[in-house]
Amino acid sequence: MNLLRVCQLCLVSLLLISCNSTNTSQSKLKDSTSVNSPAAKLALAKSRSACISEVSYQITLDLAQSKHFTGTTQVNFQLSDTSTALSLDLLQADIKSFIINGHKIYPRYNDKTFIMSPGLLVPGGNTVEITYSQNYGKNGMGLVRFVDPKDANVYLESNFPPYAASMMFPSFDQPDLKASYSLNVTVPKGWVVISSVKEQEVIGSLESNQWQFPSSPKLSPHMFSLHAGPYRTWEDDTAKSDHPIRLFARQAIADEISPQLWFEDMGKGMHFMEEYLNTSYPFNKFDLLLSPTLTDNNSIASASVVSIDENQALFSGLSPKEQKKRIAITSMTGLSTQWFGALITMNWWNESWLNMSLRSLLTNKTLSQLGHGYQESNHYYDPIKSRAYMDDALFANHTDSSALDSVGVHKGEASLLGLEQLIGESNFRLGLKRYLEEFAYRNVSAAGFFTSLSPHAKRDLTQWQRDWLFTPGVNTIRAEFACENNRISEFSLIQSPASEQSPTLREQKITLALFTKGRNELHRVRSISVTYKGEKTPIEKLNGNRCPDLVYPNYLDSGYVKVSLDSRSLETVTQHLNMVTEPQLRSMLWQSLWESVSDGKLALNKYLGVVFINLPKEKDPAILEQVLTQLNQSKALLEQILPNHSSYVHMALKGLEQMSLRKAMVNGESADIQRLWFNAHVQFSRSQDALTHLAKLLAGHSSIKGLEINQEMRWHIITQLNRYDFLGSRSLIDQELSNDLSQRGQNAAITAQVSRPEAGIKRYWLTHIQHDSELPFSTLSIAMTHLYPKEQQRLSSASSEQRLESLTEIDDQKSDRFMQIYGQYLIPTQCNHGGIAMLKKTINNQHGLSATTQKALLQAYQSELRCVAIKESLLH
C-alpha cells in the first residue's frame, strides 16, 4: 500500500484517540478528501507530538538473514497525558514479543500501527520493547538489500523518505518527534556497518561481528541511517578537519574509484561552510557512500552520511575538470544537509522548501568558492532562476490547488538570494548564525527562520515574505522605446503579470543595459539601476542616448523576473547573439529566448533560426550544454507536432542532426566541446542516414577524429538505434550486454529494450510497472522513464485511457517515490486539444489522490497547454 496512505490511516487512528481529539475533528475524518489534504495531515501529526517528548530508541538488529532481518527495539518516551490511547508505527512486521512498561501483551497491530491502550501507559516515562522480523524494503525504501551480480556480495542500505523509517524499526515516524538512537548490529564477518555516528566497538565471534554505536544526537527518524556490507573503505588523511571524512564503495567497483578525487575538495568545502555559517560541523564524522541501489545520479543525505548513485563515480569520457565538478556538486549538497536538514529539521514536510533552499544556497556558494559553480565571477546565468520560474508558473496557473506548495526549493533559493542582496550578506549571515544557535537539534517552522533573521535585517520581513514567497508567479518585463535621428526619444519598461490567476504587479530594482553593434562584438554603452513598478515605468534619464541595437532589462540577473525582448533587440540577437562577449549575458539571452518559446511569445521556428545561425560559434561548454538541453526539448516538441507542419518539422530535425555531427567532427581538439556535440548528435539522430552512421561508429567501421567511443556512449547509441527500430538493433542489446556485465550495463540494456517502438514490449513493461511488486525499484524507475518517448505517440495513446483510469488504484498501492516518476513519465499527453480535455476531466474527477500525484497531473496539464500553444504558433 502507498506509504502516504499508510500514514494517513495511522494518523486517522491517532486523531480519534489523540490527546486533543474532539467530536468535531472526528467528524471531519469522515470526509476522505479532508484527510488527504496537507492541512489535515499536519493536524493529525500534531495530535501525537502534543503528547510525547524525550524520545529515544535502543535498536538491536541481526542482518545475517537473506529473506528478512530480525530486531528488538526499545522505545523510551515521556507522556504528558494518559487519558487516551497512543500509536506507534511499524510497517508489515512479524511480531515476536511486545512489552509495554514491563507487561508482555498481545498487541493491537494492523500491519502498520500499534495502538497502546491508556491503561498500560503512565504519566512521565514509558518504555515499549518490541521483538520482530521484517522483510527487506521494496520500491527502494526501508532497509534495501542488494546482491552484487559480479561477485554475489550483499549490501544493505537504508532509505527513509517520508514515513519509511518504520520499515526498519518501530518509531513515532514523523519529523517533529526527534530522538536519540543507540544501535547494535550483528553482521557477517568482513562487513562494515555505517550509521549516524561513528562506531564505538566491534565485538567479534566465530561467524559474525557485533557493531556497537553510541547514542546519537537528536534526529528525526528519516535522518537516521544504517548501511552494511563488505564495503571498501578509504579515509581522508589529508583533510584539515577535526571530523573523519570517509568514502565507501562496493568491492566490485572499488578498483575504478579514485578516492583522492572525492577527498580533494571535502576539507576545503567543510571549512568554508563552517566559516560562512560561523557554526561548527554538527557531527563527529562525515561519510560518502557510493550506492548501487540509487539511479539517475540521485543522492540521499542523512545525518553524517550521504548515499550517492555510484555511477557518478564511474566516469566515462569526462575531463578531469568535469569529474571534479560533478563530485563537488554531489558531496557539497550532502554536506550542506548536515546543517539544514539534520541539525535543524522542519516541523512537517510542507515546509521542507526552506531547508532545501538554504542548503542549495549554501552549496552553490561553496561550489563557487571551490571554483565549480555557475556563479563564480558571475559568468553564467543562474539555472536556479529558470527552475524557479517553471515551479512558480505551475502554482500561478493553479492557485486553487492544495496539492502545490506556494514555495518550491528553487523559488525559495532565488528569493533568499534576493533577500541577502536586500539586507546585505553580513546581516544575512548573522541571521543564519542566530537561527542555527536557536534551533540546533530541534524542529522549526519557516516563521522561526524569519524571526531569527529579522533583528539583523533591521526590518519586519512579513511584507517581504508575502510579496516574494507567498504570492505566486513570475512576471515579465520588456523594453519599449522609440528613436529619432538615432537617439532615444521615449523609453519605458512594460511589466506583465504571471497569469490571469495571478495578476500581481511587483516593484523591483534591476539593472538595465544598452548595447550597440560594432564590427566584431556588441558593445555595452550604458547600464543603469532602475526601479520599476506597475504596468508601465518611464525611464526618462535614457532620453537622448544613442538608439540601442539591444536592450536587456535584467542585466547581471539582479531581478526575479523573465525578460521578453523587444522587436529591435530580437532582430539583433537573431543575427548576432554570438557577438555578445559577456558569458553571463549570452547565457541569459539564450534562456530568455527559450522562456519566450515556452510562454508562447516566440515561435519555435524563430528560436531555432537563432540557434542555427549562432550556436555553431559557441565555445563555452557551460553555455553550449545549456542550449543543447533546450534543443533536445525542441526536438521532442517537433516530434509531437508531427504530422502538422510536416515539411518544416522534418527540415528542422534534419538540421539538428547535421549541425551536431558537423560540430562533433570539427572539434577534435576540444574534448569537452566535442563530447557535448556528439552526445547531442546521438539524441538528435532519427533519419536512416544518421542512424546508419551511428551503427558504423558502434561497429568500428567509421570514426570521428579525436573522439573515443566509450562504454557509456556505446549504450547511448544502442538505445537510440532501438528507439527508432533501426535494422538489427534488437540483437545489439544482448551482444553489448555480454561484454558489459556491470550494473550500469544491465540498466542500459533495460533502457534500450523499453525504448523500442513495439506494442508487445510496451504492454509487458506497463503491466510490470503497475502490478509487479518484486522487481527492484531501480529497474521499474528506468522502465517508467523510457517507456514512451515523445515520438511514440501512437503507442502511448493505446494505453492512455487505461493509465488515467487506473491512476487512483496505482496511487493507492505505490509509494510516493514511485508516483513521482510514474506521474512525470506515464501520465499521458498528446499535444492537442483532446489531450487537454482528457487531463482536465481527470483532474476534475479524481479525488483522494496523494499530493504528489495531484501535482503531477497539474504539471502534465500545463505541459499539454504549453505544447499546444507552441504548435499553434509555429510558422506564424
Please state which of the ranges 97-101, 495-499, 688-692, 760-764 shows the lowest mean pLDDT. 495-499
* CB burial string 160-196: b at 16+ within 10 A, e below: bbbbbbbbbbbbbbbbbbbbbbbbbbbbeeebbbbbb
Using the Cα atoms of residue 556, residue 557, residue 561 and residue 566 in order, give the sign of their dihedral.
positive
DSSP-derived pairing of the beta strands 286-291 and 305-309: parallel
Mean pLDDT of the 9-33 span: 36
Q: From its phi and psi, is residue 377 left (phi > 0), alpha (psi between -120 and 50) or beta?
A: left
Q: pLDDT at residue 413 above 70? A: yes
Q: What is the pLDDT of residues 595-648, one digit of tens each?
A: 999 988 999 999 999 999 999 999 999 899 999 999 999 999 999 999 999 999
For residue 698, name the pLDDT band (cuts at 50, 70, 90): very high
Please state which of the ranges 190-199, 276-285, 385-394, 864-873 shows the lowest mean pLDDT. 385-394
The enclosing H or E element of 431 equals helix 425-439
Cell numbers representing residue 843 in the block: 483532474
Please tell me the predicted confidence (pLDDT) of residue 617.
95
Interacting residues of 473 by C-beta distance below 8 A, sequence separation 6+: 392, 393, 395, 396, 497, 498, 499, 501, 502, 504
Residue at grid coordinates 549538497: 333
Q: Is 54 exposed, middle or buried (CB count within 10 Å of its CB: 0-12, 13-18, 19+)? A: middle
The enclosing H or E element of 495 equals strand 487-496
Interacting residues of 260 by C-beta distance below 8 A, sequence separation 6+: none
Cβ-contact 478, 566 below 8 angstroms: yes
Q: pLDDT at residue 25 above 60? A: no
Q: pLDDT at residue 722 above 90? A: yes
Mean pLDDT of the 71-84 span: 95
Please tell me the predicted confidence (pLDDT) of residue 38.
53
Measured CA to CA, the distance from residue 618 to residue 740 in angstroms comes to 35
Q: pLDDT at residue 26 above 50? A: no
Q: Is 31 exposed, middle or buried (CB count within 10 Å of its CB: 0-12, 13-18, 19+)? A: exposed
Q: pLDDT at residue 740 above 80? A: yes
Cβ-contact 610, 571 below 8 angstroms: no
Q: pLDDT at residue 746 above 60? A: yes
Cell numbers representing residue 446 in the block: 519557516
Mean pLDDT of the 75-101 span: 94
Measured CA to CA, the distance from residue 126 to residue 526 in angstroms comes to 71
Q: What is the pLDDT of residues 484-522, one digit of tens each?
A: 999 999 999 999 998 888 888 888 889 999 999 999 999
Cβ-contact 287, 188 below 8 angstroms: no
The helix-helix angle for 711-723 and 671-684 (nearest 10°) equals: 20
Q: pLDDT at residue 715 above 70? A: yes
3-state secondary structure of 347: coil
Mean pLDDT of the 539-563 span: 94
Mean pLDDT of the 690-695 span: 98
3-state secondary structure of 581: coil
Q: Is 552 exposed, middle or buried (CB count within 10 Å of its CB: 0-12, 13-18, 19+)? A: buried
Measured CA to CA, the distance from residue 311 to residue 303 in angstroms comes to 22
Among the listed residues 470, 428, 431, 429, the one whose alpha carbon sits nearest the alpha carbon of residue 448: 431
For residue 114, name the pLDDT band (cuts at 50, 70, 90): very high
Cell numbers representing residue 838 in the block: 482528457
Q: Where are the alpha helices (DSSP H) in 440-560?
A: 446-457, 462-464
Task: Quote the distance between the C-alpha of residue 492 and its chain's center.
Answer: 39
Q: pLDDT at residue 29 above 60? A: no
Q: pLDDT at residue 815 above 90? A: no
In 10 A of CB 246, how many CB atoms?
23
Please tell me the predicted confidence (pLDDT) of residue 849.
87
Please tell me the predicted confidence (pLDDT) of residue 375.
45
* Residue 97, φ and ψ in degrees, nearest 5: -155, 140
Cell numbers representing residue 180 in the block: 536519540
Among the listed residues 742, 746, 750, 736, the one whose alpha carbon sits nearest the alpha carbon of residue 787: 750
The reply to whether omega before 776 is within 30° of 0 (cis) is: no
Please tell me the predicted confidence (pLDDT) of residue 406.
57
Kindly report the CA angle at 717 between 713 and 722, in degrees rounded to 5?
A: 150
Please tell me the predicted confidence (pLDDT) of residue 473.
84
Q: Is 734 exposed, middle or buried (CB count within 10 Å of its CB: 0-12, 13-18, 19+)? A: exposed
The counts of H helices and E strands in the chain are 30, 29
Q: How many Cα neighbours within 13 Å face the side chain of 626? A: 27
Q: Hey, which bits of 518-611 come out as E strands?
A: 522-532, 536-538, 550-552, 562-563
pLDDT: is 853 or 377 the higher one? 853
Measured CA to CA, the distance from residue 779 to residue 295 in angstroms comes to 9
Mean pLDDT of the 532-547 span: 96
Distance (Å) of CA 92 to CA 9, 111, 113, 159, 174: 14, 4, 9, 17, 18
Cell numbers representing residue 284 in the block: 563527529
Q: What is the pLDDT of residues 124-152, one digit of tens each?
A: 999 999 999 999 987 778 999 999 988 99
DSSP string, 140-196: T-EEEEEE-TTT--EEEEEE--TT-GGGTS-B--STTS-EEEEEEEEEETT-EEEES
Q: pLDDT at residue 266 above 70? A: yes
- pLDDT cut 70: percent of the chain above it: 91
Q: pLDDT at residue 400 above 70? A: no
Out of 394-398, 685-689, 847-851, give the one with best mean pLDDT: 685-689
For residue 3, name the pLDDT band (cuts at 50, 70, 90): very low
When the pLDDT of each residue in the chain is averaged and rounded to a whole number, the result is 89
Please tell me the predicted confidence (pLDDT) of residue 40.
59
Cβ-contact 514, 550 below 8 angstroms: yes
For residue 18, name the pLDDT band (cuts at 50, 70, 90): very low
Q: From its phi and psi, is residue 794 left (phi > 0), alpha (psi between -120 and 50) or beta?
A: alpha
Q: pLDDT at residue 537 above 90? A: yes
Mean pLDDT of the 699-720 span: 95
- pLDDT cut 90: percent of the chain above it: 69
Measured CA to CA, the distance from residue 867 to residue 862 in angstroms comes to 9
The one-character DSSP state at 219 is B
DSSP-derived pairing of the beta strands 476-484 and 487-496: antiparallel
Kindly report the CA angle at 866 between 861 and 867, in degrees rounded to 5?
A: 100
pLDDT: is 521 or 352 the higher one? 521
Q: 3-state secondary structure string, 655-669?
A: HHHHHHHHHHHHCCC
For residue 28, name the pLDDT band (cuts at 50, 70, 90): very low
